[in-house]
Amino acid sequence: MSSDEIDQTTIYGAKILQKKHGWRFSVDSVALSKFCVETELYYFKNEPKNLFLDVGTGCGVVIILIQNFLKLEEKIDHLPYFFGIDIDPDMIKIANTNMRINEVFGSVVLGDIREAPFKKNSFDIIVSNPPYIPVGEGKISQKYDIAKWEITFDLRSFVRSSSEILKSKGRIYVVYNSNRLGELLSVFFKVHLNPSFIRFYHHSKDRKSDFFVLCAQKDGKRKLEVLPPFFSDHFIW
């Protein structure tokens, strides 16, 4: 991939390289990162946070923002190790470059989460901005195909595989389309991922929710708490 196909964006102090054409990160990745850090530090402050995994890491923006947000917190005595996994070789190269530029402690590997080279019950925290459109719904765009459509894996296989490698009492954070909330909750419960906290995103106060960010704890007992919504003016860079 030539340098002419790449550009750089600065966001919350991070320098992010990404493709000029094709999938590019958006507000959903930023919302996921902020929600993860805020929820961990407020509601799970005494739980381990040593090993993170980003499933479908793309350019690595979620990992990088999580580390940057954690660095701002005086109560953090050490930063975790971050793994990322993605099936796109080009994105692996970009993500590892971004992690090096931003001095992230971790690495990104090429692979499929359903056949991931990770042991069961390995991770304290998993984050993901997975594909959210079922195959057969809408016209598949070659520009965004595997990032948006469930071509490489669907919701059920993603959740099942993630639950297997997440430690008991570990947390999983996802961002997903609001119109599939019921389906996602059903799938989570079936693999002992207990939904704990959720925030909905709206472009403005008079518009319906576009997506939500959700935290679930493996083998958790909390009742689901709906936190105040995000609006577009919460994210400015």
Domains of the chain, by residue range, sit at 3-234
CATH 3.40.50.150 assigned to domain 3-234? The reply is yes
The mean pLDDT value for 144-164 works out to: 70
Report CA-CA distances (Å) from 132 to 144, 175, 178, 180, 185.
Answer: 12, 9, 10, 8, 14
Predicted TM-score of the model (pTM): 0.90
Which carries the bigger pLDDT value, residue 228 or residue 179? 228
pLDDT digits (tens, 9 = 90+) for 48-89: 999 999 998 999 999 999 999 998 776 666 789 999 999 889
Written as one letter, the residue type at 200 is: F
Q: Which of 140, 152, 130, 105 has the alpha carbon at shortest distance from 211?
A: 130
